[in-house]
Amino acid sequence: MSGDEALVLRDVRRSFGRTVALDGASCTVRRGTIHALLGENGAGKTTLMRIAYGLLAPDAGEVRVNGAPVNLGSSRDGIALGLGMVHQHFMLVPAMTVAENVALGGRGRFERDATATRIEALGRDSGLALDPRARVADLPVGAQQRLEIVKALAHEARVLILDEPTAVLAPAEGAELLRWLRRFADSGGTVVLITHKLRDALEFGDDLTVLRRGRTVLAGSRGEMTEAQVITALVGEAGLPSALRARTGALTPSAGEPVLHLEGVDYIDARGVTRLHEVTLEVRAGEVLGVIGVEGAGQYELLRILAGRLEPTRGRATRPTRVGFIPEDRLHDALIPELTLTENLALATAGSAHGTLAWEATRRSAAEIMRRFDVRAEGTETPARALSGGNQQKFVVGRERHLAGAALVAENPTRGLDLRASAKVLDEIAGADGDPPPAVVVYSSDIDEILAVATRVVACYNGSVREIPRAADPKDRTPYARALLGAH
Amino acid sequence: MDALLALWDGAFGSAFAFWSATLVRTTPLVLVGLAVALAFRAGVLNIGAEGQLIAGAIAATALAQWLDVMPTIITVPAMAFGGMLAGAAWAGIAAWLRRRFGVLEVISTLMLNFIALALLSWVVRGPLQEPTGIYPQSATIVANAQWPFLLEGQRLHLGFAFGLMLAAASWYWLARTASGFRVRVVGAGPRAAASAGGVDVARTTFGVFLVSGACAGLAGASEVGGVTWALYDGISPGYGYTAIAVALLARLDPRGVVVSAFFFGALEAGAAAMQRDAGVPAVIVQVFVALVILGVLAGTHLRDRARAWRLVTRREAA
């Protein structure tokens, strides 16, 4: 069956406002294969597949399904052409039953018994058993995912697009899903597997396409490429502005007093999933600890425990009373866009303040932060939303450093910023001075950024944290990429 | 034209119209308007001010009956505090449901309005009914429990002064104090308030909910003590719902609440006169009020759009 093409995307471009998500991405998916679409966070994988499926219209480029060029308008078109998509965040109605969810999007009357029979038959044929009468909200995550696939199969999908399907599953469930996908492909179906897990892609992919910053940087069949090639394509050669690269190595690891200390820390989230297990970590004054990890590897919780925003379930965390924290989603977690800069400065101490607020003094501090950290805005009484992303982030960094001298934790601090603003923000975080200099922790999904600023690097994988020794060749990214995947 | 003149005369045409009609109707609207504005500022959609007002009115009446031998200096503060406590307690049910079970306050407060109405209907036919047991209303409260008038020969009463003081205090609270600032940040950005500011969001919204209920409860006490002197089924002609319009027109600013409450108070006073003198149904005024609210909401939206547009164009030019 192989040889003919189920899905072809050629030179696809797409922007959201001023952000370019896809800048000439291509992907050719052969029928009867598992096609792994790889890339780091924000590389454009999901956008590309949403275009293939018809959820988004491309600005330019060509989409072919089964050899015929199509002008995909809405998701219904994708379904009609035999495409099925399983989104990372499930598109299910939790209050409705399995049968009702499968029937959604169909036409005509809802025949409950007929649908139930069909789901049972599909379950027998495909090996994806489900109770048609169960309420979706009561199903475990793995079953909800099976339902998403059954939904697609019920609509006669022969090409399944799965967006990070194993991210939400326990390892055993994930392996089972991948084996099922293998059987589906062997029986003539086609699978596009969007993933940032290199190991899954290398093990199960017949063909690979690697996206970086909206472009296809590597494409071909698995057999024709080496692991090293794929890793290089994924993380890139140093693609950083010179301002950053010049600083690499300029920082000397100093051994000041320990500032942040975790001892045997476990964290179990509200759903009962263990996010961190037995983490012991120390960050000293003057150090810049780089943290790397794929989505959901535990860095989210690690950073918040270090910053005092979460308490460990077990173990001990020693921190200064106040740790500066720069969260990834600055417009929701760090700033209130409608409030002025002065008010956003007061926000950071709102939880512990008493009595009346000294607005005049706060205004002066805000002005001082704007001056010291080069925040470009009309004045301290400008609402935060009127600032550009870079200036917003400089204000957040300035505020956190102003309020917490001893320790600073930053999560993807350059997200959404252009290169120049990124370099400035990283400078202010990693180059933070003081007496003693602060202990700094930076997480970034961009390994180049971490290598540029960190004096030490740890990797999160599946809830554990492991230090990565510096490679002899500072340009060699292989040990970091391997650590991301949990390989030693 | 005659109708508009009658409307104007009814609201401002004479000293009596102004001091005894317009401002008397303004009083409960200031208090419930503040109740709604404070709750909305914290992102608490309390649309149950009506029920909280009724709870306050019931409590104030009961206290007035119970303390009937006490001097005014005891009875009136007791009615005011009792009304506030009852309003806060009534709101507290919804606040607790939200905190404990995540019940949407839009639904719970609305439902509690109906329960409060039923409760009112029961007490004026049961425990608080007038001694003859004929009419579904309470006995007139004793003179000691009637709230003092502020001006000789006019019906404007102490409740209005409470309203102005509470508006000033609310403004100061939101603008200057740490706990008032917490209310604002929780309303404007709950995630940032918790993550960047370490604010206990659940606690803050719970507290505001109670304060909001207390304001509405005070409105109920003030109506019984200053205007009706008795409790009966229709004690509130929907003040708790008009309050939502008052608060929105004021853009949730306590100072603005005084102004917009006055505007609605004048319209209601004028509408009554218009119906009486010009034979135009008061419903016309309600239609007008609804148009004003729609206009204000649309205007606010357009202004925000225009501002956003200016920002975008300025940034692109830069």
Burial degree of B298 (CB within 10 A; 0-12, 13-18, 19+): exposed
For B217-241, what is each residue's pLDDT tens digit? 999 999 999 999 999 998 998 899 9
Which amino acid is located at B109 in the chain?
T
Average pLDDT, chain B: 89
Cα–Cα dist B181/B179, whole Å? 5
Encode A293-331: b = buried (16+ Cβ within 10 Å), e = exposed: bbebbbbbbbbbbbbbbbebeebebebeebbbbbbbebb
Length in residues, chain B: 318
Q: Measuring CA to CA, which residue among A160, A170, A152, A235 is closest to residue A194?
A: A160
Cα–Cα dist A272/A265, whole Å? 16
Give pLDDT, residue A451.
Answer: 82
Cα–Cα dist A173/A182, whole Å? 14
CB-CB neighbours of B292 under 10 Å: 16
Q: Do B188 and A336 touch (CB under 8 A)?
A: yes
Residues of chain A with C-beta less than 8 angstroms from the C-beta of B315: 388
Q: Do A356 and B178 touch (CB under 8 A)?
A: yes
Cα–Cα dist A186/B46, whole Å? 58
Q: Do A348 and B178 touch (CB under 8 A)?
A: no
Do A445 and A291 touch, CB atoms closer than 8 A? no
Q: Is A236 left (phi over 0), alpha (psi -120 to 50) or beta?
A: left
Sign, CA dihedral A68-A69-A71-A72, equals: positive
For B244-298, what is each residue's pLDDT tens digit? 989 988 989 999 999 999 999 998 888 888 888 888 887 887 787 778 778 877 8
- Rounded to the nearest angstrom, the minimum Cα separation between B69 and chain A is 40
Tokens of A97: 């039953």
Do A160 and A184 touch, CB atoms closer than 8 A? yes
One DSSP character per residue, B211-232 reads HHHHHHHHHHHHHIIIIISS-B
Cα–Cα dist A139/A131, whole Å? 10
Please name the member of B176, B181, B311 whose beta carbon is closest to the beta carbon of A350: B181
Cα-Cα-Cα-Cα torsion A94, A97, A101, A102, nearest 10 degrees, comes to: 150
> B219 in contact with A at a CB cutoff of 8 Å?
no
Please name the member of A357, A386, A388 whose beta carbon is closest to the beta carbon of B176: A357
Please name the member of A332, A348, A357 whose beta carbon is closest to the beta carbon of B177: A357
Cα-Cα-Cα-Cα torsion B189, B194, B199, B202, nearest 10 degrees, comes to: 80
Residues ≥6 apart with Cβ < 8 Å to B251 = B300
Per-residue pLDDT in tens (0 to 9) along chain A, 488 residues: 334 889 999 999 998 776 788 999 999 999 999 999 988 766 888 889 989 888 888 888 888 888 888 775 555 577 888 889 998 778 888 889 998 888 887 777 778 888 888 888 888 888 888 888 889 888 888 888 889 999 888 888 899 999 888 877 766 778 888 999 999 999 999 999 998 777 788 889 999 999 988 899 999 998 888 887 887 787 665 443 333 434 444 445 556 888 999 999 999 988 788 889 999 999 998 888 999 887 778 889 999 999 999 999 999 999 998 999 999 888 889 999 999 999 999 999 998 888 999 999 999 999 999 998 888 888 899 999 888 888 899 999 999 998 887 899 999 888 777 666 777 888 888 776 666 788 999 998 777 788 888 888 999 988 889 888 876 666 667 777 777 766 65
Residues forming beta bridges with residue A459, ordered by sequence position: A292, A466
Residues of chain A with C-beta less than 8 angstroms from the C-beta of B199: 350-351
Cα-Cα-Cα-Cα torsion B126, B130, B134, B137, nearest 10 degrees, comes to: -70
| Phi/psi of residue A162, nearest 5 degrees | -120, 125
Q: How far apart, in Å, are the Cα atoms of B19 and each of A3, B22, B168? A: 90, 6, 21
Cα–Cα dist B161/B218, whole Å? 12
For B118-176, what is each residue's pLDDT tens digit? 999 999 998 888 888 888 899 899 988 999 999 888 899 999 999 999 999 999 999 99
Q: Is A355 left (phi over 0), alpha (psi -120 to 50) or beta?
A: left
Give pLDDT, residue A251.
Answer: 46
Collapsing DSSP to helix, strand or coil, A14 comes out as: strand
Q: Do B176 and A337 touch (CB under 8 A)?
A: no
- Rounded to the nearest angstrom, the minimum Cα separation between A279 and chain B is 23
pLDDT(B317) > 50: no
For B38-69, what is each residue's pLDDT tens digit? 999 999 999 999 999 999 999 999 999 999 88
User: What is the model's pTM?
Assistant: 0.72
Tokens of B72: 């005014």
- Rounded to the nearest angstrom, the minimum Cα separation between B181 and chain A is 7
ipTM (interface predicted TM): 0.85
Give pLDDT, residue B44.
Answer: 93
| Cβ–Cβ pairs < 8 A, chains A and B | 73
Cα–Cα dist A25/A44, whole Å? 8
Do A1 and A13 touch, CB atoms closer than 8 A? no
Residues ≥6 apart with Cβ < 8 Å to B204 = B42, B179, B182, B183, B186, B193
Q: What is Dmax (Cα atoms) for chain B?
A: 79
For B6-26, what is each residue's pLDDT tens digit? 888 888 888 888 888 899 999
Do B218 and B162 touch, CB atoms closer than 8 A? yes
> B173 in contact with A at a CB cutoff of 8 Å?
no
Q: Do B196 and A349 touch (CB under 8 A)?
A: no
